[in-house]
Structures are given as C-alpha cells and as structure tokens.
Amino acid sequence: MMVRKRYLRNCLLMMLLFAVMITGCYSNSNTNGTSSNSNQAKSVKNNTIKEYKLVPNGAPELAGGPENKNRNTQPLTLEELRKKYRSNFHFSGPSTPPRVALTFDDAPDQLFTPRVLDVLKEYKVKATFFVVGNRAQKHPDIINRIVKEGHILGNHTYNHPNLAKVSNTVFQREVSDTQQTIKKLTGKTMRYLRPPYGNITEEQIKWLVSKNISIVNWNVDSLDWKGLNAEQVLANVMGDVTAGAIVLQHSAGGEGEDLSGTVQALPQIIKQLRNQGIELVTVPELLKKPAYK
C-alpha cells in the first residue's frame, strides 16, 4: 500500500514538471516569433509598439513622406550659374593685362546711340553694344555705323523680355530672331548675349551653349537708367571699376529714360581709366575669344 502511494506521488510530480516545461516553450515562442499574416507591421522603441503602413512595394512607409513631396528644388542663383558655367557665363574678364570693357545696352536709337558713338570715335575707343532686335530692324543705319567704326555687336533679344519669365519657345525665338536680323544687316553671326535685366535660367544657358553663344553680364553697374547726372554716373563706374571689369551702361533706353548723364560722363570715364594705365577694349578682346562665329 505504501509503495503504491509513493508511485502515484512520483507520477503526479512528473506530470506537473512536464506541464511547466510545455508552458515555458509556448511563452518563448510567442515572445520571439512574428505573425506573417498581419496586414500591418510593428516597430518596437522604448518598450512601446508603433504600427505603420506598408507602401505598395512592401516596405514600411517613410515617416516624413515621399521625396517628391518634400524636395523643394530651388533654381540656381546667377552667381551659382556663373560658377557652374564659368566658360560660357561671364561677369568679368582676367585682371591681367589691365583692361576694361565698356558695354552699352538697348541700342540702337536715334537720340543717345549716335551721341555715344561720337564720344567713342573722338577718343578712339572700341566698345560692345548689346542690341535689341526690333530696334536694329528699325535703325539699320545705326547698326551699320556701329560695325563700321569697329565696335562689337551682341544679342540683347528681339523685344527685351525678362527671360526668366518666358517659355523656352519664346526665349529661343527672341534670340534667333535677333541673330537673323543682324545677320541680314551686317553678315555677322553674333557670339555673345546679354539677357535683359541680367536674368536667365539654367535651361536657357544650356541652349545657348549648344548654339555656341556665351552669356555676358557685368560686375560694374553705372545705374544710368535711373536718369542720373554725369557726376553720379562717373562715381558709380569709377567707384567699383578694377582691371578686368565689364562696365554696364546704356546707349538707348525705355520710354522717358534720360541717358544724358552717360553721354556726358563717358569722356571722364575714358580719361580716368587711361590715366590708371587701363586699356579700353571690347568684350571679345577682354575674354580673349573670337568676336563673331
């Protein structure tokens, strides 16, 4: 009788031990395992579980959202564009030898352009004129005088729009129509373009480069378009000019613009630069590149 009780007790203990082992294994399985049938994934951080959705490719979604909703691509600044396209986008030239290029925008007209040409002829200075196509069409005689007296022509578009605000189609037509106009009048194919207001986009630069046209802005601004007097124009130019500079002035303007200050200041600008040992040259001479294509 005693043996039987001992036997039953041992059996009971073994059954209890077996039950404990089974329970431990089941617990470990639930802790370490994952459910493959779940429609949502879970991440554990700081003992908290955060649920997230899956994107169509099966990966967890990005917390901040997709790239196309977060990337804010800004166009490059003019300075950044100049650095990126330094071989084709010029604000100035080399500082040696000591040279400066005088440039005149918005020509031709019948009032100020001839007076600027008269001063340049008197002082035997060659300059660069960035001409507007429809004005060249209107005043072919002045365009021919510019070329005959040894100055260089550059493209300043046909209608003088703000290029950063027009379509690529309009931009290309503005440039091409001016090229064709000057070609018909002079037989020359211009190699340089100055965008009106100095504004241009990267896509436009790429197109110009493909056409072997370089962009020329400036690093000295006379601000003559403000209707300044001769003393003010002279101060603006001589206060900033250094060897290698490209100086912006105008030999024609918009409605109501008075450029008498530029005409009157020009002799003093020429004299003072020469007194400093600076040679006055055209843009192609300054950049050491051909004048026309």
Indicate which residues carry an active-site annotation. Answer: 105, 250
- Render the burial of 249-288: b for 16+ CB within 10 Å, e for the rest: bbbbbeeeebbbbbbbbbbebbeebeeeebebbbbbbbbe
- Closest-CA residue to 141 (of 149, 102, 175): 149
Phi, psi (deg, nearest 5) at residue 187: 80, 5
Helix ranges, the chain (H): 2-32, 78-84, 113-122, 133-138, 140-148, 168-186, 202-210, 230-240, 260-275, 283-287
Structure tokens at 185: 């009048």
197 sits in which H/E element = none
Dihedral of CA atoms 287, 288, 291, 292 in degrees, nearest 10, equals -100
